[in-house]
Amino acid sequence: MWTDQQDQLQETGRQEVYALQRDAIPAVAAMQLRGLRFDPDAHARQVEAWNWELYNARTAYREITGKPAPETPNEIRALISEIAGGQLANWARTEKIGELSISGKHLSLF
């Protein structure tokens, strides 16, 4: 099952999301063992707040640019190519196939 999921994660650009969730398991388990419980209502409220933030950010992006916000890894790379100018030559690349990196640490530098 993992080999199928691994391919799907790579195809959809979700490896980093998976790794974040996977790496959180030990911390969550340790918290539960110490008596800290998960509050589904608080979680639902937080997710709703994040969804509104995302909606507002996408709406603002569309108002400013007249275009929908990029959603896929390749759309993000295309946007970087459009706006990076002279910085594009020095932009970090992925290790395996040399695509423009869309890692948060590289996007935050721009």
Q: What is the pLDDT of residues 52-87, one digit of tens each?
A: 999 999 999 999 999 999 989 899 999 988 888 788
Q: Which residue has the tokens 């290790």?
A: 95
User: 87 Cβ partners below 8 Å, 6+ apart?
Assistant: 110
Q: Which residue has the tokens 């398991």?
A: 25
CA distances from 32 to 36, 44, 59 (A): 5, 19, 38
Neighbours of 84 (CB within 10 A): 14
Segment of 26-35, 47-56, 64-73 carrying the highest mean pLDDT: 47-56
Residue 38 zone, left/alpha/beta (φ > 0; ψ -120 to 50; rest):
beta
pLDDT band at 110 (very low <50, low <70, confident <90, very high): low
**Residue 97 and residue 103 in contact, taking contact as beta carbons nearer than 8 Å:** no
